[in-house]
A and B are shown apart, each in its own frame.
Chain A
Amino acid sequence: MTLDRIAEKVRAGERLDIEDGVVLFTTKDLLRVGVLANEVRERMHGDRTYFNRNMHINTTNVCYASCMFCSFARLEEGKPGAYTMSLDEAWGRLRAQDGNFLSEIHIVNGLHTGLPFDYYEELLRGLKRIRPEIHLKCFTAVEIHFFAEKFGMSYRQVLERLRAAGLDSLPGGGAEIFAARYRKKVCADKVDAEGWLQVHREWHRMGGKSNATMLYGMIETPEERADHLLRLRALQDETGGLQTFIPLAFHNEGNPLRKLPEPTGFDNLRVYAASRLLLDNVPHIKAYWIMVGEKIAQVAQSFGVDDVDGTVLEERIYHMAGAETPQGLTRKELVRLIKDAGRVPVERDTLYNVIWEEGQSVPERYSGVGANAGAIHLPVAS
């Protein structure tokens, strides 16, 4: 398989297979893989690049799992650096944003063996009490699986109770690399691939939307990367519930793999492009700027990426792994990051309803303190 053959397939609208994936993940021909991914990206989204105004809250980093790549988790309460927020503290993070427009809260946590299920339900309820309209994108499939086991419920039961408490969609974390060989070595305590996919399947069947990720740059082979994406593509064929795929590059500080070199920017761009080409049925590819930095996030918008995540406000997970990016960007900075990449910024909500698009004026309601005066608007149902 060569890039020529892949180009023919992409232009003819044919699906790529695992061998194509291996070529895409190993090619040194950055320009050609970029051109192809950019064609697909522009066919799907034109010049638009999406962002949102979100905040991250990680209410606990206590986690019984010991994944090798993780710099965030602490095994037990009381260990240095371990923390668990009280509900009031967690809600306080949102209250502190009084006057700032936010359309989404993103919550992922450690697998804490000592917290009751109530904690999670009440966490969501409390956030909705403070801002009923905010979208709660919380708990990875790994956490849902953990709740099901710990509290003796099915995935469906867990998801239904959380939805009743305010859950709006699922983030895509915890997927890592699906291959069993890899999970055994790197994250043996985590739910397996089938479990991860099943949680998302159940959620999609309930009408929910979710994201998916891939953590790359450790011991996985190019085949395993391609296999990972094709399994996601198969799930998407079945349910259509995935909105966005987010490739995540391994960072090596503060974890047992600090001698393993991190993927370079070249690899990051190639992964974005390959993902865009292999996942022909997932609408969005996101460059998480926290992880790759603003510079690559800009260039990535020509390598298949149409989303750069959001303002974030207080990132912890990648920063504990040595990320040198800011912990948050203002809306103005995000808009500039997109415009300087030659794209048209579009502010979205979690479900990709357009809140604002460059060139449109902005209703008062979403402007708010610190929102860079004059810049925002009403969600428009799609």
Chain B
Amino acid sequence: MTDKRLYSERTKRTRTADDDRAARQDARVKRLSAVMYLNARPLYHGISQGIGGGRFSLVTAPPAECARMLVEGEVDAGLVPVAALARDGLYRVVPGVAVGCRGPVGSVVVHSERPIEELTDVVLDSSSRTSVVLLRLLLRRRLGREPRYVSMAPERLGEQVAGTTGALVIGDESMRLRGRFPFEWDLGGAWFEWTGLPFVFAVWAARAADLTETDVALLAESARRGEAALAEIAGGDPDKLRYLREQVRYALGAEEAAGLQRFFDLASDAGLLPEHRVSFFGERPRRRSSLDGLLGKAAAGERLSADDAVRLGEEASLFDLGAAADAVRCRKHGDAVVTYIIDRNINYTNVCVTACRFCAFFRPVGHAEGYTLSRETLAEKTRTLVEAGGIQILLQGGLNPDLPIEWYEDLFHWFKTEFPTVAMHALSPEEILYIARITGITLERTLERLHAAGLDSVPGGGAEVLVDRIRRQIAPLKCTSDEWLEVMRVAHRMGLRSSATMMFGSGETLLDRVQHFLKVRDLQDETGGFTAFISWDYQHDKGTRVVPGETGSHVYLRTQALSRLVLDNVPSIQSSWVTQGPGVGQAALRFGANDFGSVMFEENVVSAAGTTFCMDEAMIRRHIEASGFRPVRRNMRYELLA
């Protein structure tokens, strides 16, 4: 009797809480992002016309940006390219409506002077990941072709078409190019010929909790109104109207869903996307795979979604993560060798205008303790390095307004003349952007000039966490995530290699860290220019002003292991013993790391916050050996030296 009463009370309470939550959910304005292209407009036409009565707010953006806003929680739902469903694994799909095609679509086309089978290079717009995956899938699996892919800004794609170089152009730009080149390979058409199924490019997606039934119904209604208003949307242009009416399809029924699932199955089989099962609003939630299954998948090197990675980060034990990361590490690098490099960290100036809240190293312009190293000092430091067998310097500094590009060009020229055998691993993206800005030239030009002057590779510092919400909190004056990535994209395109880093523990969520990994992985898919990934936790002590989040060596090992599992396309993971101490640095070698960084002659940035670990070459070798590995020196490109 008592039990029954308690039970019914509890049930009632729970239901009330749920009702409240649903009511709150219902009352909140839903933020939506949608692809800005013409073909997507019918889907949000009703919303633009005000259905829902102020229930929705809408921003339009390029496809990748819509997906980014959704995963980073800046919007509640997004009309996103379908690749985002598999990449993130976090969303359900609004049924019934989509942007798709059944046969040629006209707006996702490879334009070229030669037939598709003869192309050796394809330039493309990296902001449309779905089209890029579809192209790679079709070429790899349908035609058995692997051309070089080079990404660039969409408005420049047409200029690149020549000989055996084609361009994958999407959206309105592709329609503009129609008829310009002799060969046009329509991806919608190729897909239909191959599979006999429709292709779905974009869908409304959201986390299960973020859309109510009413929201879902209104989104479907919005598209119905759009379909009824195609002429209005085409703005009187008969070509556009024909395109919207005849080539684009807005239905997402059983056949389209089958096409969508087929795409995910083929793309995951080809290693282009994580495995994914489409899940629709209104369906019963699917049972999740077991944690062991997921660990097995990770250890086997299969591509992980954001959801997979978050789940591993939340639920897997330290040792399960370690064992999976160790399996991946051993498959990539064998079980015998750990590499290291003899280089020297030189901080050429501590004068910096950025004033990051976690930094204890910088001094503002005009401060008595501000310095810029003289050439004599630099030469002396480099000579010590060369005497110790060193082959690289890592040159980084603050953003010093008194140093224009000519200063760096002179320095690099002089340095390469004095020390021709020493590689110049210099200037993090932040510094490169700053040099471009104060010199008043483009990023491309800046990198070209620095490269010509002797820059060999770009260190991946200053990435912190590549989620702008976090960057604004901890380093409000630093570049955005996209800018950071763009510097690397341009550098890689020029043949410069770079590393990538992450400083975590400054208040971000696990999903933020995973998003950081995925942004690096996405760019690596595009360029292949990253040599290694290095992560560490925020070193908080004197002089730092950010309240630490999840930090410490335990979280470090978990995070590093997870980075090894997610970054399936980045060759090396470096143990950060400089921040973690030699002992944890050793343990890190069983949690995914295959590289032990470099000899530390000096370190100024982390040590300004109180962390100081230094090792010479003999100590590095001893620590690697004591961990059961053979130490082998490497160069900047992570090539083993005998």
- Using CB atoms and an 8 Å cutoff, list the residues of chain A in contact with chain B: 28-31, 34-35, 38, 261, 264-269, 292-293, 295-296, 298-299, 301-302, 336-337, 340-342
**7 residue pairs bridging A and B, Cβ less than 8 Å apart:** A30-B628, A264-B627, A265-B585, A266-B627, A299-B587, A340-B554, A340-B555
CB-CB contacts below 8 Å: B320-345 with A: 322-323, 326
Query: Contact: B552 with A337, CB < 8 Å?
Result: yes
- Beyond contacts A268-B583, A299-B553, A299-B587: 14 other A-B pairs, Cβ-Cβ < 8 A, are A28-B627, A31-B323, A38-B318, A38-B319, A264-B622, A265-B581, A265-B585, A266-B586, A266-B623, A267-B626, A293-B583, A299-B584, A302-B318, A336-B552
CB-CB contacts below 8 Å: B565-591 with A: 580-587, 590
Option from A30, A38, A337 in Cβ contact (under 8 Å) with B627: A30
Measured between alpha carbons, how far is A268 from B580 in the docked complex, in Å? 15
Query: Contact: B623 with A296, CB < 8 Å?
Result: no
For A340, the closest partner residue in chain B by CB is B552
B555 to chain A, nearest CB (A): 6
B184 to chain A, nearest CB (A): 54
Measured between alpha carbons, how far is A295 from B586 in the docked complex, in Å? 12
B600 to chain A, nearest CB (A): 15
**Interface: B480 (CB within 8 A):** no
Query: Contact: A302 with B319, CB < 8 Å?
Result: yes
B597 to chain A, nearest CB (A): 15
Query: Contact: B319 with A266, CB < 8 Å?
Result: no
Option from B551, B554, B582 in Cβ contact (under 8 Å) with A264: B582
Contacts of A267 in B (CB 8 A): 626
A267 to chain B, nearest CB (A): 6
Contacts of A341 in B (CB 8 A): 552-554
CB-CB contacts below 8 Å: B180-229 with A: none
A252 to chain B, nearest CB (A): 13
Measured between alpha carbons, how far is A154 from B553 in the docked complex, in Å? 48
A-B contact count (CB 8 A): 84
Contacts of A264 in B (CB 8 A): 582-583, 586, 622-623, 626-627
Contacts of A301 in B (CB 8 A): 554
Measured between alpha carbons, how far is A34 from B551 in the docked complex, in Å? 21
Query: Contact: A296 with B553, CB < 8 Å?
Result: yes
Measured between alpha carbons, how far is A292 from B586 in the docked complex, in Å? 14
Measured between alpha carbons, how far is A298 from B582 in the docked complex, in Å? 14
**Interface: B550 (CB within 8 A):** yes
Query: Contact: B587 with A298, CB < 8 Å?
Result: no
Number of residues in B with C-beta < 8 Å to the partner?
27
Query: Contact: B622 with A299, CB < 8 Å?
Result: no
Measured between alpha carbons, how far is A35 from B586 in the docked complex, in Å? 17
Query: Contact: A31 with B322, CB < 8 Å?
Result: yes
B385 to chain A, nearest CB (A): 24
Query: Contact: B627 with A292, CB < 8 Å?
Result: no
Where chain A touches its partner, the secondary structure class is helix
Measured between alpha carbons, how far is A342 from B557 in the docked complex, in Å? 12
Query: Contact: A342 with B583, CB < 8 Å?
Result: no
Measured between alpha carbons, how far is A264 from B623 in the docked complex, in Å? 7
Query: Contact: A30 with B590, CB < 8 Å?
Result: yes
Contacts of A298 in B (CB 8 A): 552-554
B329 to chain A, nearest CB (A): 11
Option from B323, B583, B623 in Cβ contact (under 8 Å) with A292: B583
For B611, the closest partner residue in chain A by CB is A295
Contacts of B323 in A (CB 8 A): 31, 35
Query: Contact: B626 with A30, CB < 8 Å?
Result: no
A220 to chain B, nearest CB (A): 16
Query: Contact: B582 with A342, CB < 8 Å?
Result: no
Measured between alpha carbons, how far is A266 from B580 in the docked complex, in Å? 13
Candidate in B319, B583, B627 with the most chain A CB atoms within 10 angstroms: B583
Contacts of B587 in A (CB 8 A): 30, 265-266, 269, 299
Measured between alpha carbons, how far is A268 from B581 in the docked complex, in Å? 13
Contacts of B554 in A (CB 8 A): 298-299, 301-302, 340-342
Query: Contact: A342 with B318, CB < 8 Å?
Result: yes
Query: Contact: A34 with B581, CB < 8 Å?
Result: no
Measured between alpha carbons, how far is A269 from B591 in the docked complex, in Å? 14
Query: Contact: B584 with A295, CB < 8 Å?
Result: yes
Contacts of A266 in B (CB 8 A): 583, 586-587, 623, 626-628
Measured between alpha carbons, how far is A341 from B584 in the docked complex, in Å? 13
Contacts of A302 in B (CB 8 A): 318-319, 554
Measured between alpha carbons, how far is A31 from B591 in the docked complex, in Å? 9
Query: Contact: A35 with B319, CB < 8 Å?
Result: yes
For B552, the closest partner residue in chain A by CB is A340
Candidate in B551, B554, B584 with the most chain A CB atoms within 10 angstroms: B554
Measured between alpha carbons, how far is A31 from B330 in the docked complex, in Å? 14
Query: Contact: A31 with B590, CB < 8 Å?
Result: yes
Contacts of B627 in A (CB 8 A): 28, 30, 264, 266
Contacts of A342 in B (CB 8 A): 318, 554
Measured between alpha carbons, how far is A76 from B551 in the docked complex, in Å? 46
A260 to chain B, nearest CB (A): 12
For A342, the closest partner residue in chain B by CB is B554
Measured between alpha carbons, how far is A265 from B322 in the docked complex, in Å? 17
For B555, the closest partner residue in chain A by CB is A340
B340 to chain A, nearest CB (A): 15
Measured between alpha carbons, how far is A38 from B318 in the docked complex, in Å? 10
Measured between alpha carbons, how far is A302 from B585 in the docked complex, in Å? 16
Contacts of B552 in A (CB 8 A): 295, 298, 336-337, 340-341
